[in-house]
Amino acid sequence: MVKFVESDTTGLPLKRKQVAHACEKCRRRKKRCIHSGPRLHGDPSSTGSPTKSSGTERSQPSPSSRSDRTRVSTPRVSTPNPTTEEIHPVSPAAKNGEKNAATHPPPFYGDLNPEAILMEATSLCSRRDVSAPGGHGIWQAPIPPRANTQNSNIPSVQSSSRRAVQDMVRSYLWNHCLPCRAPASDYAVLKRIYFEKMNPIFPIFEDPAVSGMPDEPINILVQQVVSLAAAADPEALQHLRTSPNGPLMSRQEFCACLSNSVLTTLDAGLVTDRVWLVRLSAALSLYTQPTNAEEADIPALLNSRAVHHMHTLGLQMAVDDGHPKKDMIRTIFCCVWALDTITGAFYGRARLIHERDVGWNIEDCIRAQIPPFRLLLMVISLLNQVIGLYCPGTRPSHPVLIEFPIFEQMILDAEALRLTGSCLASLEIFYHSVAILSTQSPADVASSAWPQPAANSRRSLAADRITSIVGEEFVGQLSYMPLIPYGVSLSLSVSYRKMRHSKVPMFRNRGKQAFRKNTQLLKSMDDMFWKSKTMVAMAEQVLNEMDKAVASLAQENGLPDLSKKAEAVPQGERPEVQPEETRALEFAQSATEAGNEWMLFDAVPDLDVFGHFDPTFDLGAVDAALVGNFDFGTSTNWFDWHQQLG
């Protein structure tokens, strides 16, 4: 009679009493159990009840197994927000067999995968997803790895060399990146700004997430992102420091330091929990600002990372009502879904999340959110309809006007009556931005300068409301998220087209006044948002060229003496003798501000000022950039236009 005695990972034999038993379910089915690994010399962490050896002695673990157990049993720092393990709980057997079960989600096998059929039939630990009737596949608990001496020399994707490089980077992160954060007193103000004005609209973080364990890497990263977002608020100007006794920094320097620190830390792999990778990547994508053309794609790249980790976790698939973290999972999914649409509009990118791949009911998800976020998601739904007009292959050849609900009715539907005026105004700017985009007939962009009759009133009213809210009603009180400069830029483009193509002098002058005002609003935000900076660079050059052309044409048409207009300037503010060009520009500016530019256009009504621009000025590039605001496909060229125009 031959007996087969099981051996451990080192090849030493195990006694029969020490061999792990099958789990209860497999024993009942009389099946071979694969849910618990072999027992290691009395290791209490292995599956099965502890057994005594012969006599009164217990078998002791070897030094190698003792060190492994010590390393595995190191307690993880708990965070108030859930981790990957809490979203997808794994069985105790899987935890015993796989050390990193807490940081890796269970694999999902879709019904298109033939492996799913066998998994569901043979595994007791699998469960079918409940996102739709019948489901789309199964979740399989990780199978514990078995010792395989033949493949022990084959490096895995997470090879030792890669881990060694990451270990070398950690010292740099702890010495240079993680210390770059606002002191406690300054951070208290920045945190209050963020959670009062920004997080209610885009709740990617939960407030308790940044109140405990302040020295843990994840919490440090959250503090950095919160400070980065809050830095755009005017109230934060006196709190932009990165050390307790450090000097006050400019917005650009402060934000660049924080953005680089967070991005470097994420790239280094210091954060392994995918739930936090989703949160941090999504927040950084929304709030980081490029500083040059080479960084123009960073926000879109971070959005794609957030979507990638979300899909890996399966957050796009609905969970049952009994799941303890259903509300949190649904909110994170809504944040990433909204961010993906915003990225598509801001940067001319294809959307990565499609409703046909989502297991949630989108309308139910929106209704389950807090009122500010619910209102944002309702506007995002409108934006999704608008983007559909601009997708390649579906651009209509005839004018299309999307039916738009009244914003006041949307506030009532979102139960957002109790929101502050500044919060509602910030969301109203985004609503009017989408309204402007909805009036653009894609086939008309290059063929005609005239808007469609039904769209003209909506576009003009929306642009005027954006300018009024930002420049008059709520100056310095808004939630200064990237939605604000985006809306002002669209308003600038509307006024530019009116100024550029209108045949009536009164409308041309009105367009120029609105264009100048929107330029000033963007200039007040150019140290917060890169988009504002690029738009201001183009707009100011256009205004300067217009002033030169108007002054030259006024001189040619015998309008009031330019030298006498120049004498109106106080003597102490100008030199005794001014060049002719300087006096011409002063007259043009004063004439524009007083509305006297009509004198020129009344004398020559069909005069095209743009036709008298300096031939070296690339007017075609300006036209393409500013009109491109209406077309998602060319939005990414803002950085190229900025380089061309210096």
Q: pLDDT tens digit string along 309-367? A: 999 999 999 988 889 999 999 999 999 999 999 999 988 888 999 989 999 999 999 99
Q: Encode 374-392: b = buried (16+ Cβ within 10 Å), e = exposed.
A: bbbbbbbebbbebbebbee
Higher pLDDT, 210 or 291: 291
What integer is the mean pLDDT of 231-246?
92
Last residue of a domain, one of 104, 121, 144: 144
Is residue 634 a part of any domain in this protein? yes
Is residue 20 a part of any domain in this protein? yes
One-letter amino acid of 242: T
SS3 label, residue 127: strand
pLDDT at residue number 145: 54
Tokens found for residue 229: 């977002």
Mark whether 572 and 636 lie in a shared domain.
Answer: yes
Mark whether 48 and 130 lie in a shared domain.
Answer: no
SS3 label, residue 110: strand
Nearest alpha carbon to residue 185 among 213, 227, 125, 151: 227
**Residue 238 predicted with pLDDT over 90:** yes
CB 80 within 8 A of CB 208: yes
Tokens found for residue 58: 């217990």
Q: Tell me how far apart the alpha carbons of residues 527 and 263 are, in angstroms, rounded to a whole number.
A: 20
Under the banding of pLDDT at 50, 70 and 90, the label for residue 213 is low
Q: Tell me how far apart the alpha carbons of residues 107 and 85 are, in angstroms, rounded to a whole number.
A: 13
What integer is the mean pLDDT of 109-134?
66
Higher pLDDT, 410 or 347: 410
pLDDT at residue number 3: 66
Last residue of a domain, one of 119, 144, 169: 144
Q: pLDDT tens digit string along 597-620? A: 555 555 555 667 777 777 778 777
Which is it for strands 127-128 and 137-139: parallel, antiparallel or unpaired? antiparallel
What integer is the mean pLDDT of 363-387?
95
Measured between alpha carbons, how far apart are the two ends of the chain, in Å?
89
Is residue 620 a part of any domain in this protein? yes
Q: What percent of the chain has pLDDT over 90?
A: 37
pLDDT at residue number 447: 46
Under the banding of pLDDT at 50, 70 and 90, the label for residue 156 is low
Q: pLDDT tens digit string along 474-502? A: 999 999 999 999 999 999 999 998 888 88
Burial class (CB in 10 A: 0-12, 13-18, 19+), 164: exposed
Under the banding of pLDDT at 50, 70 and 90, the label for residue 95 is very low
Q: Tell me how far apart the alpha carbons of residues 390 and 435 are, in angstroms, rounded to a whole number.
A: 14
Is residue 103 a part of any domain in this protein? yes
Mark whether 551 and 639 lie in a shared domain.
Answer: yes
Is residue 115 a part of any domain in this protein? yes
Under the banding of pLDDT at 50, 70 and 90, the label for residue 377 is very high
pTM: 0.74
Cβ atoms within 10 Å of 596's Cβ, excluding its own: 17
Under the banding of pLDDT at 50, 70 and 90, the label for residue 32 is confident
**Residue 12 predicted with pLDDT over 60:** yes
Can you say how many angstroms the Cα of residue 95 is from the centroid of all Cα atoms in its chain? 34
Mark whether 637 and 544 lie in a shared domain.
Answer: yes
Q: Tell me how far apart the alpha carbons of residues 496 and 627 are, in angstroms, rounded to a whole number.
A: 8
Residue written as tokens 């990565």? Answer: 352
**Residue 638 predicted with pLDDT over 90:** no
Residue written as tokens 């660049």? Answer: 256
Is residue 547 a part of any domain in this protein? yes
pLDDT at residue number 595: 45
**Residue 79 predicted with pLDDT over 60:** no
What does each C-alpha distance from 72 to 45, 142, 270, 609 come to in angstroms?
10, 17, 18, 75
Range with lowest mean pLDDT among 61-75, 104-118, 427-441, 613-627: 61-75
Is residue 560 a part of any domain in this protein? yes
Mark whether 46 and 120 lie in a shared domain.
Answer: no
**Residue 97 predicted with pLDDT over 60:** no
pLDDT at residue number 516: 92
What integer is the mean pLDDT of 368-372?
96
What integer is the mean pLDDT of 564-574?
45
- Across all residues in the chain, what is the average pLDDT? 76
What integer is the mean pLDDT of 181-198?
94
Range with lowest mean pLDDT among 68-82, 458-472, 553-567: 68-82
Mark whether 599 and 551 lie in a shared domain.
Answer: yes
DSSP assignment of 297-322: THHHHHHHHHHHHHHHHTTTS---TT
Q: Tell me how far apart the alpha carbons of residues 486 and 516 are, in angstroms, rounded to a whole number.
A: 17
- Three-class secondary structure assignment of 581-622: HHHHHHHHHHHHHHCCCHHHHHHCCCCCHHHHCCCCCCHHHH
Mark whether 20 and 112 lie in a shared domain.
Answer: no
**Structural domain boundaries enclosing 127:** 84-144
pLDDT at residue number 184: 92
pLDDT at residue number 582: 54
Higher pLDDT, 592 or 22: 22
What integer is the mean pLDDT of 551-572?
54
Mark whether 44 and 129 lie in a shared domain.
Answer: no
Higher pLDDT, 441 or 625: 625
**Residue 415 predicted with pLDDT over 90:** yes
Q: pLDDT tens digit string along 215-225? A: 789 999 999 99
pLDDT at residue number 559: 57
Q: Tell me how far apart the alpha carbons of residues 23 and 49 are, in angstroms, rounded to a whole number.
A: 11
**Residue 549 predicted with pLDDT over 60:** yes
Is residue 445 a part of any domain in this protein? no
State residue 110 phi and psi, 5-degree precision: -70, 160
Mark whether 42 and 91 lie in a shared domain.
Answer: no
Say how many domains are in the chain: 3
Q: Tell me how far apart the alpha carbons of residues 261 and 268 are, in angstroms, rounded to a whole number.
A: 11
State residue 137 phi and psi, 5-degree precision: 165, -165
**Residue 136 predicted with pLDDT over 50:** yes
Listing from the earlier edge strand, what are the strands of the sheet with 127-128?
108-110, 137-139, 127-128
Higher pLDDT, 483 or 245: 483
Contacts for 435 with CB less than 8 Å, ≥ 6 apart: 404, 458, 459, 462
pLDDT at residue number 50: 40
pLDDT at residue number 86: 64
Contacts for 156 with CB less than 8 Å, ≥ 6 apart: none
Mark whether 43 and 99 lie in a shared domain.
Answer: no
**Residue 412 predicted with pLDDT over 90:** yes
Cβ atoms within 10 Å of 53's Cβ, excluding its own: 13
Residue written as tokens 């100008």? Answer: 574
